[in-house]
Amino acid sequence: MSFDSFSDFIAMGGHGFYVWLSYAIALVVVVINIVNPALQKKKIVSNLVRRLRRENKSL
Amino acid sequence: MGIIVTNESANSEGSSVLSLFGAVLKRDLMLAYRKKSDLFNPLIFFLMVATLFPLGVSPEPDFLAQIAPGVVWVAALLATLLSMESVFKSDFEDGTLEQTLLSPQPLFVIVLAKVLAHWMMSGLPLTLLAPLLAVMLFLPAEGMSGLMLSLLIGTPTLSLVGAIGAALTVGLRKGGVLISLLVLPLYIPVLIFGTSAVQAAVTGLPLAGFFALLGAILALGLVLAPLAISAALRISVSG
Amino acid sequence: MSEKKNWMPRWFYQLASPRWSYEIMGKLLPGFAIAAFLLLIAGTVWALLFAPSDYQQGNSFRIIYIHVPSALLAQSCYMMMAIAGAIGLIWKMKVADMVAKSCAPIGATMAVLALATGAIWGKPTWGSWWVWDARLTSMLILLFLYLGVIALYSAIENEAMAAKSAAVLALVGLVNIPIIKYSVDWWNTLHQPATFKLTERPAMAPEMWLPLLVMVIGFYCFFAVSLMMRTRNEILVRERRASWVKELVEKQ
């Protein structure tokens, strides 16, 4: 453990803003890269389902 | 706009490549000569861009002398880019390009000739016009030779790399801006070494190293770029 | 032709089948997802709480645990995109095309992350948000290369043609990257001699680089997860008329 207290940990020796901003941006980028394809897949599958239903009706 | 690429030149092997090269070069130069606006518009653009800097930044001679190498090079780069779209466009639109791809002649040679023709109509005049800009921007006289030589060796690379972008986008309706996006990052090494050569010439440092680097990039481009251009043309035309 | 390529392993041919690829990626995904999650969490906790602070930069040094993995990933992602594109061009392998297409957005966001963390790190270190440091400049140009590839993908409507064109562009970029890197490094030493480099430093202590290693592996696992998710989506879209996709959808 390189910090004595929780407030030390947050402050990061005066560099807290920079460190936490970096990690926050990293979190956002990682989450976007996972959530975006997941949402995409949902959309693709629902489109496919709709198409399939239409095709089955017309048969 | 007939098809110059005939089967006759394929008969004798050794000289056929040269005669093919000559035929394509001659045809493209002739076409460019007939359509003079394609020749002059980039040159006028080159001149205008360089004029914007004193107006936009400062007319102070000392300051301008400092930024002159970069400004001339950036202007040359943008002017080349502007003229790039037309390399394959008209050939694509009237179907000549498709015929060329179907012909048994080596595409490598044809592409190289077309790029050379483009350079003679863009890079070469830009190089010849550069001293005028250099004077307008107060570039010291010692830098002139460095500027001319670096442009002479650097602009063919710009044409070669730009032609890759032109070949990739030839089938698209809005190719213009896209070419810039694709090609500009690839121009950066030439820009860096070109402007450094001029700055070295101004300060009296040895120049040979820069020209060797620019020459090496050009040699690499001459070997590899036609391959990429050929592949890109085949993709753009026949999918 | 087929005799010539016999030295290729069996899975290489199987990869050519979108259905096989879709299924194998579905099986691999949970494992990689768990590994990525655990490694990233462990690495972050280690990096933020337990790694010692730097004697020169203090705690702002902890940004390295984001900056270096994302920069590495951005570079290797471009390489992977170009190689996958080349495989698609040479062997006409559809799945390789889809992998190449899926690489582009991930690599671009990683380049953005590397640039953002580099800029943030620059503020306490150099006193300004942006410095024309050789590494940052190279990364910016890499981002431009990514954006070019993405722009080309979106400009061409025909999927097969877009994939081939983008593959050619990615390969041209791959050849150019060493030249760009060399020229930018050279330009940097010319204009800013002996500046303080962000990541070039004397050998790091193990308690500093071990968490970095964990983070790098975690980022690569995360990359695998995101890439497989995107590629699976791409397979579904491109193979929407295949019967196995219809069966798959009917099951749900």
Q: Is pLDDT of B177 > 90? A: no
- Domain for residue C41, yes or no? yes
Burial bucket for residue C143 (CB in 10 Å: 0-12, 13-18, 19+): buried
Write down which chains contact chain A via at least 3 CB pairs under 8 A: C
For C30, other C-beta atoms within 10 Å of its C-beta total 10
> In angstroms, what separates the C-alpha of C78 from chain B's closest C-alpha?
14
Q: What is the DSSP string of B10-55?
A: GSSHHHHHHHHHHHHHHHHHHHHHHSHHHHHHHHHHHHHHHHHHHH
Measured CA to CA, the distance from residue C131 to residue C6 in angstroms comes to 52
- Which pLDDT tens digit goes with each residue over C19-46? 899 999 999 999 999 999 999 999 999 9
- Domain for residue C4, yes or no? no
Interface predicted TM-score (ipTM) of this complex, two decimals:
0.88
What's the pLDDT band for C201 if we cut at 50, 70, 90? Answer: low
Contact C230, C106 (CB under 8 A): yes
Q: Is pLDDT of B239 > 80? A: no
- C15 vs C122: which has the higher pLDDT: C122
Burial bucket for residue C35 (CB in 10 Å: 0-12, 13-18, 19+): middle
Which residue in the set B174, B185, B239 is minimally distant from C161, CB to CB?
B239
- Which pLDDT tens digit goes with each residue over B108-164? 999 999 999 999 999 999 999 999 999 999 999 888 989 999 999 999 999 999 999
Count of A–C CB contacts within 8 Å?
99
Measured CA to CA, the distance from residue C235 to residue C245 in angstroms comes to 9
- C60–A23 CB contact, under 8 Å: no
Segment C169-196 shows an average pLDDT of 82
Q: State the pLDDT at residue A28.
A: 96
- Which contiguous run of DSSP H or E holds residue C45? helix C18-45
Q: Is pLDDT of B5 > 80? A: no
**What domain count does chain B have?**
1
| Cβ contacts of A40 on chain C, cutoff 8 Å | 230, 233
Listed in sequence order, the residues at least 6 apart from B53 whose beta carbon sits closer than 8 Å to its beta carbon are: B64, B67, B71, B137
Measured CA to CA, the distance from residue C159 to residue C161 in angstroms comes to 5
- C198 vs B130: which has the higher pLDDT: B130
- Domain for residue C84, yes or no? yes
Q: State the pLDDT at residue B12.
A: 55
Q: How much is the mean pLDDT over chain C?
A: 87
The residue of chain C with its CA nearest to that of A22 is C117
- Which contiguous run of DSSP H or E holds residue C230? helix C206-238
Hey, what's the torsion of the CAs at C218, C222, C224, C227, to 10 degrees? -160
- Domain for residue C227, yes or no? yes
**What domain count does chain C have?**
1
Tell which residue, C64, C42, C68, C56, has the closest CA to residue A13. Answer: C56
Which residue in the set B172, B188, B231 is minimally distant from C183, CB to CB?
B188
Q: Is pLDDT of C193 > 50? A: no
Segment B45-67 shows an average pLDDT of 90
- Which contiguous run of DSSP H or E holds residue B99? helix B96-102
Is B231 part of the contact surface with chain C (CB cutoff 8 Å)? yes
Measured CA to CA, the distance from residue A19 to residue C54 in angstroms comes to 13
| Cβ contacts of C116 on chain A, cutoff 8 Å | 22, 25
Domain that holds residue C46: 28-194+208-242
Q: How much is the mean pLDDT over chain B?
A: 88
Average pLDDT across each block of 10 residues of chain A; the chain has 59 residues. List them in order. 80 84 95 95 92 82
Percent over 70 (pLDDT), chain B:
94
Contact C52, C119 (CB under 8 A): no
- The half-sphere exposure of C27 on its side-chain side, counting CA atoms within 13 A, is 5
Contact C77, C103 (CB under 8 A): yes
| Cβ contacts of C74 on chain A, cutoff 8 Å | none
Listed in sequence order, the residues at least 6 apart from C156 whose beta carbon sits closer than 8 Å to its beta carbon are: B171, B172, C162, C165
| Cβ contacts of C170 on chain B, cutoff 8 Å | none
In chain A, where the domains are located:
6-58
Q: Is A5 helix (H, G, I), strand (E, B) or coil?
A: coil
> In angstroms, what separates the C-alpha of B229 from chain C's closest C-alpha?
9
> Best of A6, A10, A15, A21 to disrupt the C interface by mutation (most C CBs within 10 Å)?
A15
Q: State the pLDDT at residue B13.
A: 58
Q: Is pLDDT of C194 > 50? A: no
Q: Can you list the positions of beta strands (E) in A1-59? A: none
Domain that holds residue B158: 14-238
- A26–C113 CB contact, under 8 Å: yes
- A45–C252 CB contact, under 8 Å: yes
Q: State the pLDDT at residue B175.
A: 73
Q: State the pLDDT at residue A27.
A: 95
Q: Is pLDDT of B86 > 90? A: no
Contact C224, C30 (CB under 8 A): no
Tell me which amino acid residue C136 is: L
Q: State the pLDDT at residue B2.
A: 44
Is C41 part of the contact surface with chain A (CB cutoff 8 Å)? no
> In angstroms, what separates the C-alpha of B193 from chain C's closest C-alpha?
7
- The half-sphere exposure of C49 on its side-chain side, counting CA atoms within 13 A, is 9
| Cβ contacts of B235 on chain C, cutoff 8 Å | 161, 164-165, 168
- Domain for residue B7, yes or no? no
- Domain for residue C9, yes or no? no
- A2–C250 CB contact, under 8 Å: no
Burial bucket for residue B229 (CB in 10 Å: 0-12, 13-18, 19+): buried
